[in-house]
Amino acid sequence: MSLGTAPTVGGGDGFVGTDLNTDPSVKSSYTITQTAGAVAAGAPASCNGVAAGASVSTYFVSAAPTAGGGARFFGTNQGGTIYQSTAAVAVTQNGAPAGATVLQ
């Protein structure tokens, strides 16, 4: 995952912490899984080493409880809304996942 890679110019930290730099990763009794969408045609190289033409324009991130963890599942995409469900949230690159509700 490239979001955990620090920028190659100007230094600093990655866009997400190192505890989320693997896919999947486990945090706070949830397994976090990232699903990349379509490649963004003509995208330039990124500041953290993603080659030109390799960045994606959509994504989906899900959080599923580990054994003994929570009872709800969560998901979000580039739309920025967090969805919840009592069952796994279906990967949805755009819009609301079927069967999930907006977290309020």
Reported confidence tier of residue 1, pLDDT bands at 50, 70, 90: low
Is residue 77 predicted with pLDDT exceeding 90? yes
Identify the bridge partners of residue 84 per DSSP, sorted by sequence position. 74, 101
What is the structure's pLDDT at 79?
92
- Between CA 12 and CA 6 the distance in angstroms is 6
Phi/psi for 56 (5° steps) reads: -105, 155
Q: Tokens 């945090």 sit at which residue?
A: 27
Three-state DSSP class for residue 79: coil
Q: Are 73 and 89 in contact (CB under 8 A)?
A: yes
* Average pLDDT rounded to a whole number, residues 55-75: 92
Is residue 27 predicted with pLDDT exceeding 60? yes
